[in-house]
Amino acid sequence: MSSRFDGDGGRVFGIRTDLIEQFIGTVNRDLKAKVGVVIVTLFVIAAVFAPELAPYDPMAQDFAPLQAPALSSETPLGTDSFGRDLLSRLMYGARISLGVGLGAVLFGAIIGVLLGLVAGFYGGWIDDLLMRSVDVMWAFPWLLIAIMLVAIFGQGVWNVVIAVGFAYIDDFARITRGEVLSIREEEYILAAESVGLGDLEVVFEEVFPNTVAPIIVQFTVLVARAMLAEATLSFLGLGVKPSTPTWGALLGQGRDFITQAWWISIIPGVLIMITVLGINLFGDALRDAFDVREVDSE
């Protein structure tokens, strides 16, 4: 099922080159994958270069409020209720949405993968203990966890990252553990152990690279979901600090003006949709490339 990495395939910046090759192959074959890659690339560029690309200061209330979008005007995507340029705000918003999305999943991935590796590799009571604690999280829907965490620790970028990412720990833990279990008794692992490599070395040199494909796929899927989660939290007023322009916050701020000024809500909503769509397509392409079966996870 999972592609088996023999440890000799080479790596670029620590990433296995065979996976990259497989991915490029898929993108060449599949139109959907191409669309996904293009969207994701555009999004990342907008996010990274927002300060250079944005025409105005996203916080400056320099224009008349509630200007409708008009491509020929100073503010092509219109202004919000304070007279701020929406285009600039959306570009800066991309930054935070991307940052929160990536950060949250990274947070979940690091903790989850470590837990999964340890649980799967050692088995026995360690496995029981770790997976039981992860199981507890199944008793709480992600939003509940996120709301509680924000309520306890307050609003802010890092708190949102953790609140959203917390719920992904069990996804990564489960997947990693499953993968580890499926290869635990393979010859090359046993061989590595018999040669006398330490546990840590075996786990990171042999076990981890062979579980990485499904983890990457899951990572992508969850980044999309994290962006939606961030939007929902921001909408509920539990997101990052109020003045920070995130897509979710922009969308939420437009709600009260929806009949007067539809663009404030609709444009960020469409952008969220397109971006998440792109990331999902990208994720699907990765999935096809690595031949990973879709896992049910939420």
Using the rule CB under 8 A, give the single segment among 17-25, 59-67, 115-123, 202-210 that binds other proteins.
59-67
CA count, 13 A, side-chain hemisphere, 138: 10
Closer CB to other proteins, residue 167 or residue 216? Answer: 167
Least separation in angstroms between residue 71's CB and other proteins is 22
Closer CB to other proteins, residue 8 or residue 294? Answer: 294
Structure tokens at 164: 């959203």
Least separation in angstroms between residue 84's CB and other proteins is 9
Scanning residues 81 to 110, which ones bind other proteins (CB under 8 A)? 81-83
Least separation in angstroms between residue 111's CB and other proteins is 17
Closer CB to other proteins, residue 205 or residue 298? Answer: 298
Scanning residues 106 to 135, which ones bind other proteins (CB under 8 A)? none
Residue among 39, 222, 266, 161 nearest 47 (CA)? 39
Instruction: In whole angstroms, give the CA distance from residue 207 to residue 211.
Output: 7
Interior angle at CA 256, CA 254 and CA 257, nearest 5: 65
Residue 277 binds other proteins, judged by CB under 8 A: yes
Residue 38 binds other proteins, judged by CB under 8 A: no
Residue 269 binds other proteins, judged by CB under 8 A: yes
Instruction: Give the one residue of 79, 155, 159, 176 binding other proteins; rule: CB under 8 A.
Output: 155
Using the rule CB under 8 A, give the single segment among 78-86, 87-95, 181-189, 202-210 that binds other proteins.
78-86
Beta bridge partners of 85: 79
> Are 101 and 56 spatial neighbours (Cβ–Cβ below 8 Å)?
no
Instruction: In whole angstroms, give the CA distance from residue 175 to residue 181.
Output: 10
Scanning residues 241 to 260, which ones bind other proteins (CB under 8 A)? 241-243, 248, 251, 255-260
Least separation in angstroms between residue 155's CB and other proteins is 7
Residue 217 binds other proteins, judged by CB under 8 A: no
Residue 298 binds other proteins, judged by CB under 8 A: yes
Q: Which amino acid is at 235?
A: F
Closer CB to other proteins, residue 10 or residue 237? Answer: 237
Instruction: Give the one residue of 265, 267, 289, 290 binding other proteins; rule: CB under 8 A.
Output: 265
Residue 2 binds other proteins, judged by CB under 8 A: no
Closer CB to other proteins, residue 215 or residue 226? Answer: 226
Residue ranges in contact with other proteins by CB under 8 A: 59-61, 65, 81-83, 136, 138-144, 147-148, 151-152, 154-155, 224, 228-229, 231-232, 235-237, 241-243, 248, 251, 255-260, 262, 265-266, 269, 272-274, 276-277, 280-281, 293-294, 296-298
